[in-house]
């Protein structure tokens, strides 16, 4: 008697092997048999005829460090076939924490990852000081997906150095030794790795860069050695210039990462994006990571499967949000507001005005950025199109309709009763060219990530990247060469799991965890992002669902049917390699 039997599905097993029609049997949370002739009784049978059956996706770049303490479903990531997620990225998180400094860590996370501070303050149930205590707290919780975490450099530095660490002052040898000891103990307790941030774009709410942004090599290498000595794991970072918000990332970043990995024997993964200021720099960095393998280093550029940017709309942030006439309407319910915005005299007034000073919030900053890049905005559409052509750009619409770009943007934002969204691709889409993304994805050292689930709540919803990888790259792409389904599945199952040492999952093989997806490949597509106010304290976030996920299974239990949460909570804390 099996617990679950998936019949007649087209198995894409995560190894890269050819597709095959087979049955998959599950018992006690594990895959116990796979075969075309397999049969038997089961407590539940899923007919997967005409469907693909994949391993559950492993998302290695999320920021649910606070949300895991109050949210069992961990949406939007769990909406997209993800059965294991990794958080604690970019050097920010909530452990270790000295009593009385909790709010400072919240302000750091809000500034870097745009997670509403009020939601974190109300939602997090604190009850730890050290990182092992944080893991023990998580071990008592249950979710719809498995969760693993890294220890963040920013929290460690602030814990050891206090205000000096928060202000990015140089660490003494004694302080470096203390930080290393904390990292080692965290890895011994089950942290999957250690993370840091070196990009000036990552700042706390007070404007200070993340603690560790300017850390010298002796500090970074001490963390790497502690990672090794604690049992091993991943060294993850947002490198200097990763998002093009400061000086374009110098090759010396790749150099110290190469030397760190070669010395410690541990993999290093870092954010890799195509930046408009130096559109071919990523090729040099990719080449350097490949050359580093000859020296025993393991460098893995972390790349995204679509343009990397923000969503612009009347519900998020937009180029007109600081103009006096709009400000007078901003608090109206959307239905009333859009009725006013469509009045010719209101439109004329807004288009004729200059911006007020504003408060300096991140959303206003993005709005002002968009105002200066109107011709780079694209209508997202429904279903969303993340490889849009020129005719979907504000510039293209303005040309076709003989209006200004500002008027074309205004009209586009008024569509769909004011819920329309425009995409501003800041990176990975220079001159509207998606081929750079394809080349990044297919590089032998690249790993798929950067979804940022749980973060940037009012600006993006890139947690849906796993769906884009399947729906766009293996089926929907019309402007260039697609990618093989078998290869794309492997990139976000076996490969991402293996990077973090999770060799018990990521493939459909006997003895592996029964983390699975049953997917209607022909129907798989993204829905429009939707702004909701369901975080603690009424905090807002963008949620993006998908059609085509027939079933998602974690440890043998069906957690979603046709995209709907079943209430099953088999998800557990995943501890590290030790």
Asked whether residue 372 is assigned to any structural domain, the reply reads: yes
pLDDT, one tens digit per residue, over 360-413 is 777 788 888 899 999 999 999 999 999 999 999 999 999 999 999 999 999 999
Query: In this predicted structure, what is the pLDDT of residue 206?
Result: 87
Asked whether residue 137 is assigned to any structural domain, the reply reads: yes
Same domain flag for 269 and 322 = no
The percentage of the chain sitting over the pLDDT mark of 90, rounded to a whole number, equals 88
Q: How many domains does the chain have?
A: 3
Pairing mode, if any, of strands 299-303 and 308-312? unpaired
Q: How far apart are CA 350 and CA 321, in angstroms?
A: 9
Residue 391 domain boundaries: 311-426
The yes-or-no verdict on residue 246 having pLDDT over 70 is: no
Lowest mean pLDDT among 250-259, 290-299, 512-521: 250-259
Same domain flag for 36 and 68 = no
The CATH number assigned to the domain holding 436 equals 3.20.20.140
Q: What is the rounded average pLDDT for all residues in the chain?
A: 95
Check: CB of residue 508 under 8 Å from CB of residue 516.
Answer: yes
* Residue 405, helix vs strand vs coil: helix
Rounded to the nearest 5 degrees, what angle is found at the Cα of 461, between the Cα atoms of 272 and 478? Answer: 75
Asked whether residue 573 is assigned to any structural domain, the reply reads: no
Q: How many C-beta atoms surround the C-beta of residue 242 within 10 A?
A: 27
Same domain flag for 66 and 56 = no
Sign of the CA dihedral running 281, 282, 283, 286: positive
Same domain flag for 462 and 493 = no
| Closest to 282 measured CA to CA, from 253, 261, 309 | 253
Same domain flag for 154 and 241 = yes
Same domain flag for 47 and 68 = no
Structural element, H or E, at residue 223: helix 217-229
Check: CB of residue 313 under 8 Å from CB of residue 415.
Answer: no
Asked whether residue 578 is assigned to any structural domain, the reply reads: no
Residue 343: exposure state from Cβ atoms within 10 A (0-12, 13-18, ≥19): exposed
Same domain flag for 133 and 271 = yes
R_g of the chain, CA atoms, integer Å: 23
Q: How far apart are CA 25 and CA 261, in angstroms?
A: 40
245 — pLDDT class (breaks 50, 70, 90): very low
Domain boundary among 470, 490, 524: 470
| Average confidence (pLDDT) over 475-500 | 96
What's this model's pTM, rounded to 2 decimal places? 0.96
The yes-or-no verdict on residue 543 having pLDDT over 90 is: yes
Structure tokens at 476: 């929907």
* Residue 176, helix vs strand vs coil: helix
Asked whether residue 406 is assigned to any structural domain, the reply reads: yes
Strand segments, DSSP code E, in 365-436 are 378-379, 422-427
φ/ψ (deg, to 5) at 61? -135, 90
Q: How many CA atoms lie within 13 A of 250 on its CB side?
A: 6
Q: How many C-beta atoms surround the C-beta of residue 74 within 10 A?
A: 23
| Closest to 476 measured CA to CA, from 395, 382, 385, 351 | 385
Domain boundary among 408, 426, 444: 426
Classify residue 382 by its DSSP letter: T
Domain boundary among 426, 451, 482: 426
| Closest to 198 measured CA to CA, from 117, 257, 114, 148 | 257
Which has more confidence, 343 or 251? 343
Asked whether residue 574 is assigned to any structural domain, the reply reads: no
The yes-or-no verdict on residue 221 having pLDDT over 50 is: yes
Sign of the CA dihedral running 26, 28, 31, 35: negative
247 — pLDDT class (breaks 50, 70, 90): very low
Q: How far apart are CA 228 and CA 234, in angstroms?
A: 9
Same domain flag for 299 and 355 = no
Lowest mean pLDDT among 206-210, 384-388, 465-469: 206-210
| Average confidence (pLDDT) over 467-489 | 96
User: What are the Cα distances from residue 379, in Å, to 372, 396, 551?
Assistant: 17, 10, 31
| Closest to 543 measured CA to CA, from 522, 565, 568, 559 | 565
Q: How far apart are CA 406 and CA 422, in angstroms?
A: 13
Query: In this predicted structure, what is the pLDDT of residue 248?
Result: 46
Query: In this predicted structure, what is the pLDDT of residue 578?
Result: 58
Ramachandran category for residue 187: left, alpha or beta (phi over 0 → left; psi -120 to 50 → alpha): alpha
Q: How far apart are CA 17 and CA 24, in angstroms?
A: 16
The yes-or-no verdict on residue 244 having pLDDT over 70 is: no
Same domain flag for 315 and 297 = no
Same domain flag for 367 and 444 = no
Query: In this predicted structure, what is the pLDDT of residue 431?
Result: 80
Sign of the CA dihedral running 445, 451, 454, 459: positive
Q: How far apart are CA 139 and CA 56, in angstroms?
A: 21
Tokens 């990332």, located at residue: 249
Please list, in sequence order, all residues whose beta carbon lies within 8 angstroms of the beta carbon of residue 253, skipping any fewer than 6 positions away.
Answer: 198, 239, 240, 241, 270
The yes-or-no verdict on residue 492 having pLDDT over 80 is: yes
| Closest to 60 measured CA to CA, from 572, 499, 511 | 499
Structural element, H or E, at residue 286: helix 281-292
- Tell me if the bond preceding 544 is cis, omega within 30° of 0: no
Same domain flag for 316 and 261 = no
pLDDT, one tens digit per residue, over 134-181 is 999 999 999 999 999 999 999 999 999 999 999 999 999 999 999 999
310 — pLDDT class (breaks 50, 70, 90): very high
| Average confidence (pLDDT) over 234-243 | 83
User: What are the Cα distances from residue 289, in Å, to 18, 259, 286, 388, 460?
Assistant: 29, 11, 5, 31, 29
The CATH number assigned to the domain holding 550 equals 2.30.40.10
Query: In this predicted structure, what is the pLDDT of residue 78?
Result: 98
Q: How far apart are CA 211 and CA 165, in angstroms?
A: 6
| Average confidence (pLDDT) over 111-138 | 97
Alpha carbon 369 to its chain's center: 22
Query: In this predicted structure, what is the pLDDT of residue 249?
Result: 53
Same domain flag for 56 and 67 = no
């Amino acid at each position: 008697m099996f617990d679950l039997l998936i019949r007649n599905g087209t198995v894409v097993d995560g190894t890269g092997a050819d597709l095959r029609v087979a049955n998959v049997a599950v018992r006690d949370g594990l895959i116990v048999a796979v075969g075309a002739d397999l049969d038997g009784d089961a407590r539940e049978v899923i007919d997967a005829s005409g469907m693909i059956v994949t391993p559950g996706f492993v998302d290695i770049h999320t920021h649910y460090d606070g949300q895991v303490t109050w949210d069992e479903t961990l949406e939007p990531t769990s909406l997209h076939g993800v059965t294991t997620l990794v958080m604690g990225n970019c050097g920010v998180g909530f452990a270790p924490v000295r009593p009385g400094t909790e709010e400072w860590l919240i302000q750091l996370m809000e500034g870097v990852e745009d997670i509403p501070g009020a939601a974190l303050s109300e939602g997090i149930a604190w009850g730890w000081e050290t990182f092992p205590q944080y893991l023990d707290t998580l071990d008592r919780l249950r979710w719809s997906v498995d969760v693993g975490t890294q220890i963040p450099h920013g929290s460690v530095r602030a814990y050891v150095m206090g205000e000096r660490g928060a202000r990015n002052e140089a660490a003494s040898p004694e302080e470096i030794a203390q930080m290393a000891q904390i990292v080692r103990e965290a890895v011994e307790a089950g942290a999957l790795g250690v993370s840091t941030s070196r990009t000036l774009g990552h700042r706390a709410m007070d404007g200070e860069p993340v603690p560790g942004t300017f850390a010298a090599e002796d500090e970074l290498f001490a963390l790497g050695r502690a990672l090794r000595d604690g049992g091993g794991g991943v060294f993850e970072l947002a490198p200097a210039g990763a998002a093009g918000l400061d000086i374009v990332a110098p090759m010396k970043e790749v150099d110290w990462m190469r030397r760190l990995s070669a010395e410690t024997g541990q993999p290093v993964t870092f954010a890799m994006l195509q930046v408009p200021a130096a559109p071919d720099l990523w090729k040099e960095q990719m080449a350097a990571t490949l050359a580093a393998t000859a020296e025993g280093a393991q460098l893995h550029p972390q790349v995204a499967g679509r343009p990397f940017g923000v969503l612009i709309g009347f519900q998020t942030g937009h180029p007109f949000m600081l103009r006096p006439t709009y400000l007078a309407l901003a608090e109206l319910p959307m239905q009333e507001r859009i009725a006013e915005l469509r009045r010719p005299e209101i439109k004329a007034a807004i288009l004729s005005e200059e911006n007020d000073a504003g408060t300096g919030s991140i959303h206003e900053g993005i709005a002002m950025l968009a105002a200066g890049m109107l011709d780079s905005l694209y209508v997202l559409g429904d279903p969303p199109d993340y490889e849009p052509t020129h005719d979907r750009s504000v510039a293209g619409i303005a040309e076709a309709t003989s209006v200004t770009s500002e008027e074309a943007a205004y009209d586009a934002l008024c569509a769909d009763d004011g819920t329309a969204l425009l995409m501003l691709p800041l990176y990975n889409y220079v001159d509207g060219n998606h081929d750079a993304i394809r080349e990044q994805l297919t590089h032998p050292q690249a790993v798929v990530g950067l979804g940022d689930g749980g973060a940037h709540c009012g600006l993006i919803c890139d947690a849906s990247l796993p769906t884009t990888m399947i729906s766009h790259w293996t089926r929907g792409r019309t402007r260039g060469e697609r990618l093989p389904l078998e290869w794309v599945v492997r990139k976000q199952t076996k490969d991402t799991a293996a990077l973090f040492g999770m060799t018990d999952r990521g493939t459909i093989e006997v003895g592996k965890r029964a983390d699975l997806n049953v997917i209607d490949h022909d129907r798989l597509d993204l829905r429009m992002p939707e702004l909701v106010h369901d975080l603690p304290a009424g905090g807002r976030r963008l949620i993006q669902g998908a059609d085509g996920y027939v079933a998602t299974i974690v440890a043998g239990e069906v957690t979603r049917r046709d995209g709907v949460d079943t209430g099953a909570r088999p998800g557990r804390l995943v501890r590290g390699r030790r």
